[in-house]
């Protein structure tokens, strides 16, 4: 996909991101989320992410499952 005068290879960009540390990956994801939230409604964001989810295999979704993991405090 072209942006201005440069063409972005999204697969290569993803590979670069995967080989960064957790700090860099978190910065990327926070920026991604912030941009999504600027679209106007949560519904728009959910729809876009649902479209992405549909294009991922079960194995790929499993790899991403820790992104939504919510650690609960042990109440015992």
pLDDT at 2: 58
Domain carrying residue 48: 23-68
Asked, for residue 58, whether it belongs to a domain, the answer is yes
pTM exceeds 0.75 for this model = yes
Instruction: Please tell me the total count of domains within the chain.
Output: 1
pLDDT at 76: 60
**65: Cα within 13 Å, side-chain hemisphere:** 7
Asked, for residue 6, whether it belongs to a domain, the answer is no
Q: How far apart are the C-alpha atoms of 58 and 50, rounded to whole Å?
A: 14
- Pick 76 or 10 by higher pLDDT: 10
Segments in 1-76 forming alpha helices (H): 10-18, 22-37, 42-54, 58-64
What are the tens digits of pLDDT across the range 24-75?
999 999 999 999 999 999 999 999 999 999 999 999 999 999 998 888 866 6
Confidence of residue 1 (pLDDT cuts 50, 70, 90): low
Among 33, 29, 3, CA closest to 14: 29
């Amino acid at each position: 996909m072209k942006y201005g005068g440069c063409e972005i290879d999204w697969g290569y960009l993803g590979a670069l991101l995967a080989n960064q540390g957790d700090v860099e990956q978190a910065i990327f994801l926070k920026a991604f989320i912030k941009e999504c939230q600027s679209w106007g409604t949560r519904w728009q964001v959910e729809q876009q992410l649902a479209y992405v989810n549909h294009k991922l295999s079960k194995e790929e979704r499993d790899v991403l499952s820790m992104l939504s993991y919510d650690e609960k405090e042990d109440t015992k």
